[in-house]
Amino acid sequence: MTPHLWPCPLPHGGTGEQYALACDSGRTMRLLIVPALFDEANRLRRFCAEVMRRLDRGGVDSFLPDFPGTNESLGGLGDQDAETWRAAMTAAADHFGATHVLALRGGCLFTPPGLPAWHYAPVKGANILRAMIRARILASRETGKDENREALTGAAQDHGIVLAGHALGPGLFRDLDALAPDPAVAIITQEQLGGSGLWLRAEPDEDATQADALAALLIEGMQG
């Protein structure tokens, strides 16, 4: 498993180098993994790496790109919207020659079209934002500051907002609020993996049993 730089479309044209984690041996089966969003991406990253290792042992190449403005990206999160993120994942699929796609949680909102795909525990954009706003309100309350969801949502739609340390521009906030995963894409539920979702834990974690189960489902689906 190695870091890889790939050409990602920039918001105003051209391309810039973007980071991805890759297990690439030039094999026929090639899986693009669209990560979860924001803090959930951090909590699930170790899990994704463990799944990639199992896919590698099962004869599948896999690729985990960053969304522009997140993780190791040099781009600004405030410059992003749904169009730039969708274009980035489509470009990643093209660059790596993906034959299949796995999207996780909020990443399911940006699944590249035209490829066989699975959605793991998909979630609506509005639900992601609602949880992040709730967390901000609770944190503000602990410092004696009174904030409410309606005022924060209005400000975010007009000017952007910082939620859990992520500076979302107004375009991305409005786009996420309106997006839902494609219901036609096959869903992998948490029940199929067993246990509770790792995105619910306070810190990044891994679960060998869940990683085994997810990799086995993916390999079976790609071979079938």
pLDDT tens per residue, range 20-38: 999 999 999 999 999 999 9
pLDDT computed for residue 60 by the predictor:
98
The CA-CA-CA angle for residues 87, 21, 162, to 5°, reads 60
If pLDDT is split at 50, 70 and 90, which confidence band does 55 have?
very high
Among 96, 11, 109, which Cα is nearest to 60's? Answer: 96
- One-letter amino acid at 41 equals A
39-52, pLDDT tens digit by residue?
A: 999 999 999 999 99
pLDDT digits (tens, 9 = 90+) for 196-207: 999 998 788 889
pLDDT above 90: residue 142:
no
Which conformational region is residue 121 in: left (phi greater than 0), alpha (psi within -120 to 50 degrees), or beta? left
- Domain boundaries, given as residue ranges, for the chain: 2-123+181-223, 125-180
User: Quick check: 129 pLDDT over 90?
Assistant: yes
Contacts of 10 (CB under 8 A, 6+ apart): 16, 75
Tokens 């896919």 label which residue?
Answer: 55
Domain covering 2-123+181-223, topology: Rossmann fold (3.40.50)
Q: Which of 94, 130, 95, 88 is nearest to 109 (CA)?
A: 88
Res 193: pLDDT? 96
pLDDT of residue 192: 96
Name the pTM for this structure: 0.94
Distance CA(57)–CA(194), nearest Å, equals 22
Which residues contact residue 18 at a Cβ distance below 8 angstroms, ignoring those fewer than 6 apart? 5, 6, 7, 8, 65, 66, 68, 73, 75, 88, 92
Determine what percent of the chain is predicted with pLDDT higher than 90. Answer: 78
Mean pLDDT of the chain, nearest integer: 93
